[in-house]
Amino acid sequence: MDPNLTLLSQPSRACSYLAEPCTKNGRSPSPREQGRDSPFPWSQVPSSSLTDPDWFWDEHIQAKRARVETIVRGMCLSPNPPVPDNAPARDSPCCPERKRKQNVPVQQGPPKPGPAGDRGSRKGGPRVREQLHLLKQQLKHLQEHILQAAEPKAASQGPGGSETGKGPLSKHRVSEVKHQSEEPRFLPSGARALLEILKKELTGAISQAVDSVLQKVLLDPSGHLTHLGRSFPGLVPDGRSELSPPEGGACKDPLPLAALPRRAQPQTGAPLGNLSLAKPLDSPRYPASPRMIPKPYQGPPANCALTVPAHIQEDQILSQLLGHGPSGHWRGNLPQDSSPQSHPSSEAALRPWGAAKLRPLALSQQQCPWLFTSTCLERLPLVPSVKMEQGGLQAEGLNPGHLKKAKLMFFFTRYPSSNLLKAYFPDVQFNRCITSQMIKWFSNFREFYYIQMEKFARQAISDGVTNPKMLVVLRNSELFRALNMHYNKGNDFEVPDCFLEIASLTLQEFFRAVSAGKDSDPSWKKPIYKIISKLDSDIPEIFKSSSYPQELFRN
Partner DNA sequence: GTGATACCTG
Partner DNA sequence: CAGGTATCAC
Q: Which residues bind DNA (CB under 7 A)?
A: 378, 381-382, 384-385, 398, 403, 407, 415, 417-418, 432, 435-437, 439-441, 443-448, 450, 523, 525, 529
Q: Of the two residues 329 and 446, which places its CB atom closer to DNA in the complex?
A: 446
Q: Of the two residues 363 and 388, which places its CB atom closer to DNA in the complex?
A: 388
Contact 397, 425 (CB under 8 A): no
Contact 438, 421 (CB under 8 A): yes
Minimum CB separation of residue 302 from DNA in Å reads 31
Minimum CB separation of residue 148 from DNA in Å reads 59
Q: Of the two residues 42 and 410, which places its CB atom closer to DNA in the complex?
A: 410
The burial of 321, by beta-carbon neighbours within 10 Å (0-12 exposed, 13-18 middle, 19 or more buried), is given as buried
DSSP 253-316: SPPPGGGSSSTTS---PPPTTS--TT---SSS-----GGGSPPPPP---HHHHTTHHHHHHHHH
Q: Round to whole Å and give the CA distance between 14 and 28.
A: 18
Measured from the Cβ of residue 542, the count of other Cβ atoms closer than 10 Å reads: 14
Contact 226, 311 (CB under 8 A): yes
Minimum CB separation of residue 273 from DNA in Å reads 24
Minimum CB separation of residue 307 from DNA in Å reads 26
Q: Of the two residues 359 and 405, which places its CB atom closer to DNA in the complex?
A: 405
Name the packing angle between helices 172-182 and 189-218 (round to 10°): 160
3-state secondary structure at position 389: strand
In total, the chain counts a number of residues equal to 555
Minimum CB separation of residue 210 from DNA in Å reads 38
Minimum CB separation of residue 261 from DNA in Å reads 23
Contact 17, 63 (CB under 8 A): yes
Q: Of the two residues 307 and 336, which places its CB atom closer to DNA in the complex?
A: 336
Minimum CB separation of residue 534 from DNA in Å reads 12
Q: Of the two residues 163 and 519, which places its CB atom closer to DNA in the complex?
A: 519
Q: Of the two residues 263 and 525, which places its CB atom closer to DNA in the complex?
A: 525
Name the packing angle between helices 308-322 and 125-150 (round to 10°): 150
